[in-house]
Amino acid sequence: MPKIIKIESARHMDGEYWEVGQNIGYQKIITEIKDCSMVFPDSIDYQYDIFVNNKPWKSLINMPVKVEYSLED
């Protein structure tokens, strides 16, 4: 399964993005972006979780996003 390497807000004039390896503060690096939409298959919501230093940092729930996947595993 391809891994997410970048997720970008698709809201008009927002310009926010999160990328694996991105430094977001003092010794804080995004280590993983995970699609958690299928955790609850009966739900109509979609959710992307962003992990910093392998710990949950931010969840994007029902936010319009552009997702970029890696072709390598």
pLDDT, tens digit, for every residue of 45-60?
899 999 999 999 999 9
Phi-psi sector, 37: left (phi>0), alpha (psi -120 to 50), beta: alpha
Using pLDDT thresholds of 50, 70 and 90, give the confidence band for residue 42.
confident
Which sign, positive or negative, has the C-alpha torsion 30, 56, 66, 14?
negative
Using pLDDT thresholds of 50, 70 and 90, give the confidence band for residue 44.
confident
Task: Name the residue among 1, 12, 16, 13 with its Cα closest to residue 60.
Answer: 16
Query: In the predicted model, what is the mean pLDDT of the chain?
Result: 90
Q: How far apart are CA 14 and CA 18, in angstroms?
A: 13
| Both tokens assigned to 63 | 């936010």
- Note the pTM of the prediction, 2 decimals: 0.86
